[in-house]
Structure formats: C-alpha cells, structure tokens
Structure 1
Amino acid sequence: MSTKRFCFSCDLKDDSKLIAEYKEYHAEGNAWPDITKSIKDAGIVDMQIYLTGNRMFMIMEVDKTFDPAKKSKMDAENPKVQEWENLMWNYQQELPWAQDGEKWLPLEKVFQL
C-alpha cells in the first residue's frame, strides 16, 4: 500500500508543568480510544509527534482514502474529538505566524535526500 506524508507544527505553552501533562496524555496507551479510532478511520496509518522545547512536529502517514477536508468534517461532527481538542488547547498555543484559530500548521518540505 502506498502512503503519503503530511507534516505539521504547533507550539505548547512554555510551561514545564503543562508540557509534562501534555506528554502524559500522549504517552503510550494514554490517548483516548475514541481519538485513536477517529485518526485511523480517517485513513491515517501512522502518526508521530516530536517535541523540542515547546515546539511540536507531527508526521502523518496516510493511505489513499485520506482527505484533509473529510477529516476536518469528521472531527467537527465527533463530540469526543471536540472534547479532546478543547482539552488539548489548554496546553497548546498558536504558532506566532498562525491566523486566529489555526492550530497545527502544515510544514513546507525544503529538502529531501
């Protein structure tokens, strides 16, 4: 199966206690089952989040069924996803160049070996 990669970035609030709590929510086995199900149901076959300081980078591998607009609609209609997103917003903050309400911003690939 061929996959496509998407990469995004978002900041956490620069507070060591909040960062530790955010990491605990994302530790293996701690993400809510409804959230991981919604991710998989959207055609995302792998998702990883990396952190340096308070800046996060998300890498998603998606299959041919993935459609960003469809995923956005699915998320908006899923009360559990909305609950999770609202909870995570207690820890996250917009990147300095984000528009109001933008959370995870897409990264531009500038090099490939």
Structure 2
Amino acid sequence: MKTTRHCFALDLKNNPELIAEYKEYHSAGNVWPEVIKSIKVSGIVDLQIYLVENRMFMIMEVDETFDAEKKAAMDANNPKVQEWEDLMWTFQQALPWAKKGEKWIPMEKVFQL
C-alpha cells in the first residue's frame, strides 16, 4: 500500500491549563470513537500530533483512497465530528497568517535526507 504524508501546523491558546486539557482530550482512549472512525474511514492510515509550547504539528499518512474534499464534506455532515471540532476550537487559535476560517495549515517540505 502506497501512502502519502501531509503535515500541518496550528497553535493552541497560550494557556497552560487549556494546553493540559487539550492534551488530556488527546491522550490514549480519550478521543471520541466517532472522531476516530471518521479518520479511519477516510483513508487516513496514521495521524500524529506533536506539540512544542503552544505550536502543534500534525503528520498525516493517507492511502490512495483519501480525498480531502470528500473528508471535509463527510465531517461537515457528521454532528459528532462537528461537536468535537467546536470543542477543540475552544483550545486552538489560528496561526497569525491563516485566512478566515482556516485551522490546520499545510506545511511546505523544505528538506529530506
């Protein structure tokens, strides 16, 4: 199976209590099952989020069935995923250069060994 990697960045609000709560929501077994299912059925085979201070990096490995527009449409029509996204937005803040409504911003690969 061939996979493709996508990397994104987003900030959390710079508040230690909110960051701790965000991390707790993302600890093993705490992400809502409907969200996990939505990720898996869309062709995402691995998804990891890394954090430094309040900046997050998401690394997403997708298979050949993944379609970003289809995933966005599926999520928009899934009330539980929308509830999760609304809840997560209470912890997150857009990057300074993000356009209105943008959340996770795609990153440019600048080096590979």
Q: TM-score by structure 1 length?
A: 0.99
- How far off is 1:101 after superposition? 1.0
Q: Give the fraction of aligned pairs with identical amino acids, expressed as a percent.
A: 70
The letter for the 1-side match of 2:36 is T
For 1:81 and 1:26, locate their aligned partners in 2 and report how far apart those are by CA, in whole Å: 14
1:39-98 deviations in whole A, cap 9, x for unaligned?
Answer: 001000000000000000000000100001111101101000000000000000000000
Superposed CA RMSD in Å reads 0.4
Counterpart in the other structure of 1:49: 49
Pairs aligned (count): 113
The letter for the 2-side match of 1:8 is F
Counterpart in the other structure of 1:28: 28
- How far off is 1:2 after superposition? 0.8
Structure 1 runs not aligned, ≥5 long: none
Q: TM-score by structure 2 length?
A: 0.99
The letter for the 2-side match of 1:69 is E
For 1:100 and 1:63, locate their aligned partners in 2 and report how far apart those are by CA, in whole Å: 29
Counterpart in the other structure of 1:13: 13
Structure 2 runs not aligned, ≥5 long: none
For 2:104 and 2:87, locate their aligned partners in 1 and report how far apart those are by CA, in whole Å: 15
The letter for the 2-side match of 1:94 is A
The letter for the 1-side match of 2:109 is K
Counterpart in the other structure of 1:108: 108
For 2:84 and 2:52, locate their aligned partners in 1 and report how far apart those are by CA, in whole Å: 22
